[in-house]
Structure 1
Amino acid sequence: MSDMSCLPGLAGLDKKIFEILKEYCRIPSITGTSGETLIPEFFKRCLGQLPYYVENPDHLGTWAIEKDSLNRQVCWAMIRGGSEKTCVLIHHSDVVVTENYGRFQDLALDPDRLEAALKADPRILDQEAKKDLLSGLWLFGRGTADMKGGGAIQLALFDTYGRMSQEERKDLPTLIVLAVPDEENLSSGMRAGVGLLCHLQEQFGLDYRLMINCEPHQRLSPERGLISQGSIGKLNLFVYVRGVMAHAGKVLEGINPTGLMAAIATETDLSEDFVDHFENETSIPPTWIFLRDLKSQYDISFPEASYGMFNVLNFHTGPGEVLAKMMEICERSLIQYIAKVSGKRGEVSRRTGQDWPSPSWQPRVVLFGELRAASPAPPAPMSLEEELGFRTREFFPEDPLIVIGLCPPYYPGVSNSVPEVLREKVCTFAKEKFGQEYDNQAYYTGISDLSYAMSAGETQQLSSAMAHMAAEDYQIPFEQIEQVSMNCINLGPWGKDFHKPSERVLKEDLFHRTPMLVDHIIRTYNS
């Protein structure tokens, strides 16, 4: 077991982490529920009585998320170190639902009771999870890995630093910790948190150098840990296909949007066109999250339209370029599908000897922002599918039409440009202190709030692409991100089966290795 007693101020940290984590887990902060509003009270209770905050009560607080229907808040705390150089620790305080625990749902937020119940009746677990349970090396429960475990590490370290004397803190950078809600949904907490970081920067003259997230990592080998110096991008594209209405008995007189949508989906699903490569890393191939026609009941005619959501996970390709690629594919698919219908029409005409005039269609592919600017707004709130139907009915209604746009959330892909410094610090320390090898990854592939830690490209280009976002009230503060832009690292404990009833975290990482590594990076980065 890794020994923290020899490190300055870290003796007993493992017990403090466990104490904080058990209380943190018991809070039912399910994403998108009122349970998330219980976090500020816990956060203040956890840190508010420390000597540092008794002396500096204005260095602990909350930051409101504008227009949030649940009135959720970002919790924050600061400790002034020996310089303005600042390290920011972030974690998300929300967790996913617990219904998949079945009869153990009431125990999902209580690791001790859940472990006892699983040992008595482990049928809900697969063989690997049963083995881990019996080993005693893993802590089970919702949020233990994703990611209240990482949050407990950060808060326990702040407990340590908050008890130091002013003289002892001179060797530390200035530190900030953020607990943000809504990461499992739209990351409204982190997007608001960027504004908080700007505010603190201006108020206290801070020089942001590094953001540390403690999301859990997954391993290919149990003997090798993993750090990530960036985070994968995520983009949701929607494609709306309006055909030309026809009776199925006169199929060659119209354009079936279902057939056209199927052609687009076939060409793009898992397509290499949307995959990025960086050194020996490859982004995840894209796929369609759903595809459906918009017919509400059966009749013998074509559906009016078909609609789908396309998920792109990439590294460095921006939203403007992704939209351009999809437009090119849709334009080509539309031309090819019309040619296919025309070819079938000509074939039937030759066989029957009947002249079949070709329609004078003018096919179009437009971006959602262009459609929105050129069409009347709906008279009342509508779903996106309904709004697209409303807007396109008055937009060249006799022609086949494809509309492409974006849906929340958008996570820019980011990565440190000079990864050698952090890689060397982590790998050397881990090998020396507990004989653990660590691999370095340019992009954390689990999607994370680190996407908002640094600038991901030209602010104007990113903002222009957001003009095609379907949700007008969804905003990403690109200019503020550019203002606070800093390097980032994900340095979290080994976890397994996130979001499943077998979610668990390795105790050795949670209580010893990860906090030692985070503390080491805090003390030595930019020293």
Structure 2
Amino acid sequence: MSKQEMVDNRFSIRIAELEELLIQLVKVRSVVSSAGEHDIIDFIEEYVRNWDYFRARPEQVVRIPSAGDLLGRSSLLVCVSGRESSDAVVMIGHTDTVEVDDYGPLADLATTPDLLESALKSGQRHLYPQAQSDLESGKYLWGRGTLDMKAGVASELLLLKQLAENPESFKGHVIALFVCDEEGNSAGMISAIDVLKQWRDTKGLKICGVINTDYHTAQYPGDEAYYLFRGSVGKIMPVFYIRTLETHAGDPFAGLDANLVLAELINEINLNPKYSDYAGDEISVPPITLKVEDLKEVYSVKTNHEAWTLISVPLFEQTPVDVMEKMLDAANIAAENSLVRYYQYQREYNKQAGIPTETIHPDFEILSLAELIDRVAARLGEGTDHLIDRYLASVLDEVDTREQTLHLIRQLELLLPDRRPRIVVGFAPPFYPAVS
């Protein structure tokens, strides 16, 4: 066997091992905020602790509880050390996935790649043309988490295994962080960073770089290029709370529908490159809504006067101040457009109904959450920190952090003396600064 044949054979064996490991990882269903998040970390920990390297060095596998996590989830730090050096490289990968409800009747098969592929080939779920072509090609593994991002996790584990089998082949340290809750609140990474810092400082390490093996797909139809990105895109989450004037459904122009305003707001911001960020000749993807909801809890003929939305805004170079200015401008545009539409429809209706006068509503007030907090604190003669703590105390263990932000806005807005239409713009967790 030639040297090239030996290399090719070794490569084929590793690819087969990688595929087998990936399938095992996918079969551990680890939907975010489910018990499966415990199972996947258990699987990875057991997998690496069975290596001879970690049998001799068990302290280099560290279970990291997520601080304050009501679900008790954990992440994992795994370190393989080579010849003596303070240099270290960190790999990161998340072990959770998004939900599987979009698989419909095949949801039970979503994490069994072979059975899912067979079901798809038998026509149990219709696919759009590109996906159907991929299915027929036989080149893909199917299932939730195969791409995002258990293929990356499997690659990191296999690299660690190779290094652990030959620690004399390299200098320094390779550290992997396998974190939970990436698809939700990043509880895993937030706690893992603290442990990584302690690990670095205790061992006197110099972190030379961080590698994230999460997926990347084609940037446009027909794109066959592979991309390597330097740095990371940031993310900030504007929250908009809309409060208008309720009325009876039989007298709709006597009030102002919050959903009308919400629709104008979404129309202004959602997918609009006007609100993208730039770095050199690169443009970020535009903002998109992640939650849209009116706040009417029961059915009645009273119109809806409260609504809210969360919008994901990617960051390259913009600061939170920059984004807030843009979002306040967008709120003003939405308020103006909704009133223009309201008065236009009212005039058309009044003309046909023979109504001689029109209802005039107060103009919108647009303000930031920071302004709302300051105004209420001044009105009550109370410090802002104490005010926030007091109104959040009842929901800290009841709802997630985004709902907590909404709760704070609603409670404080009620304390304003006037009942004019209002849009409050704030930020809800999580916030990730861009790194370039």
Name the structure 1 match of 2:384.
none
| Alignment partner of 1:88 is 2:90 | yes
Pick the aligned partner of 2:429 from 399, 403, 408: 408
Aligned to 1:276: 277
Of residues 47-56 and 86-95 in structure 1, the stretch that sits farther from structure 2 once superposed is: 47-56
Counterpart AA for 1:409: P
The residue type equivalent to 1:185 in the other structure is: G
- For 1:487, the equivalent position in structure 2 comes to none
Q: Given residue 16 of structure 2, which amino acid in structure 1 is its aligned partner?
A: K
| 1:365 aligns to 2:402 (yes or no) | no
C-alpha contact (below 8 Å) 1:275/1:286 kept by paired residues: yes
Name the SS for the 1:84 alignment partner: strand
Check whether the contact 1:5–1:12 (CA below 8 A) recurs between aligned residues. no
Map 1:300-339 onto structure 2 (within 5 A).
Answer: 303-331=304-332
Q: CA deviation at 1:62?
A: 0.9
Q: Which amino acid aligns with 1:368?
A: L
Aligned partner of 1:192 in structure 2 is 191
Q: In 1, are the aligned partners of 2:97 and 2:148 still within 8 Å (CA)?
A: yes
Seen in structure 2, the aligned counterparts of structure 1 residues 195 and 132 have a Cα distance that, compared at 3 Å, is same
Determine if contact 1:237/1:406 at 8 Å carries over to the other structure.
yes
CA offsets 1:365-397 (integer angstroms, 9 cap, x no match): 332244346266278437555554332222123
Number of the residue aligned with 1:233: 234
1:143 maps onto 2:142 in alignment:
no
What is aligned with 1:393? Answer: 414
Check if 1:153 corresponds to 2:158. no
How does 1:488-527 map onto structure 2 within 5 Å? none
> Deviations for 1:376-434, whole angstroms, at most 9, x for unmatched residues?
6278437555554332222123344321112233333333xxxxxxxxxxxxxxxxxxx
Change (3 A) 1:157 1:405: same
- Alignment of 1:107 with 2:142, yes or no, is no
Asked if the contact 1:252–1:344 (Cα under 8 Å) also holds between the matched residues in 2, the reply is no
Structure 1 position 60, deviation (Å):
0.9
With 192-201 and 234-243 compared, the bigger mean Cα shift is at: 234-243
Shift of 1:227: 1.6
Provide the rounded CA distance (Å) in 1 between the counterparts of 2:5 and 2:203: 33
Q: Secondary structure at the match of 1:160?
A: helix
User: C-alpha separation between the residues in 2 aligned to 1:406 and 1:332?
Assistant: 19
Tell me if 1:203 matches 2:199: no
Query: 1:224 is paired with a residue of what secondary structure?
Result: coil
State the distance in 1 between where 2:106 and 2:343 align: 59
User: What secondary structure does 1:236 align onto?
Assistant: strand
TM-score between both structures, scaled by the size of structure 2: 0.78
Q: Distance in 2 between matches of 1:226 and 1:169?
A: 26
Alpha-carbon distance between aligned partners in 1 of 2:29 and 2:341, rounded to the nearest angstrom: 55
How far apart are the structure 1 equivalents of 2:336 and 2:227?
47
Structure-2 residue corresponding to 1:68: 69
CA RMSD of aligned residues (A): 3.8
Residue identity matched to 1:286 = P
Structure 1's unaligned 5+ residue stretches are: 416-527
CA contact (8 A) 1:368 1:404 kept: yes
Q: Give yes or no for contact 2:82–2:167 (8 Å, CA) kept in 1.
A: no
Once residues 252 and 133 of structure 1 are traced to their aligned partners in structure 2, the CA distance between those partners, rounded to angstroms, is 53
Residue 178 in structure 1 maps to residue 177 in structure 2: yes
Provide the TM-score with structure 1 as the length reference. 0.66
Structure 2 residue runs without a partner (length 5+): 378-386
Q: Secondary structure at the match of 2:130?
A: helix
Q: Quote the offset at 1:363 in angstroms.
A: 5.8
Q: Do the aligned partners of 2:254 and 2:359 also contact (CA within 8 Å) in 1?
A: no
Cα distance in 2 for residues equivalent to 1:102 and 1:302? 34
Query: Secondary structure of the residue that 2:50 maps to in structure 1?
Result: coil
- Preserved CA contact (<8 Å) 1:378 1:390: no
CA separation of 1:144 and 1:199: change in aligned 2, threshold 3 A: same
The CA distance in 2 between the partners of 1:106 and 1:181, in whole Å, is 22
Structure 2 residue identity aligned to 1:155:
L
AA in 1 matched with 2:161: D
CA contact (8 A) 1:5 1:11 kept: no
Work out whether residues 239 and 309 of structure 1, in 8 Å CA contact, stay in contact via their aligned partners in 2: yes
Distance 1:41 1:5, change over 3 A: farther
Distance 1:273 1:45, change over 3 A: same
Deviations 1:104-135 (Å, cap 9, x if unpaired)? Answer: 44433232343344444464444433433333
- Are 1:234 and 1:311, in contact at CA under 8 Å, matched by a contact in 2? yes
Q: 1:176 to 1:11 in 2, by over 3 A?
A: farther
Aligned to 1:215: 214
The answer to whether the 8 A contact 2:264-2:337 is kept is no
Identify if the C-alpha distance between structure 1 residues 405 and 188 changes in structure 2 by more than 3 Å, giving closer, same or farther: same
2:47 equivalent to 1:46: yes
Given that residues 216 and 227 in structure 2 are in contact (C-alpha distance below 8 angstroms), is that contact kept between their aligned partners in structure 1? yes
SS in 2 for 1:12: helix
Closer, same or farther: CA 209–99 of 1 in aligned 2, 3 Å: same
Question: Separation in 2 of the partners of 1:118 and 1:329?
Answer: 43
Between the aligned partners of 2:300 and 2:372, the Cα distance in structure 1 is 29
- In the superposition, relative to structure 1, how do residues 344 and 39 fare at CA in structure 2: closer, same or farther (>3 Å)? closer
Change (3 A) 1:284 1:71: same
CA distance in 2, matches of 1:169, 1:70: 39
Written as runs of structure 1 = structure 2, the 5 A alignment for 1:414-425 is: 414-415=435-436
Cα deviation, residue 138, structure 1: 1.9
Contact 1:25–1:142 (8 Å) recurs in 2 = yes
Pair 280,132 (structure 1): closer, same or farther in 2 beyond 3 Å: same
Aligned to 1:134: 136
**Partner of 2:146: helix, strand, or coil?**
coil
How many angstroms apart in 2 are the aligned matches of 1:285 and 1:224? 22
Contact 2:91 2:212 in 1 (8 A): yes
**Does the CA contact (< 8 Å) of 1:4 and 1:10 recur in 2?**
no
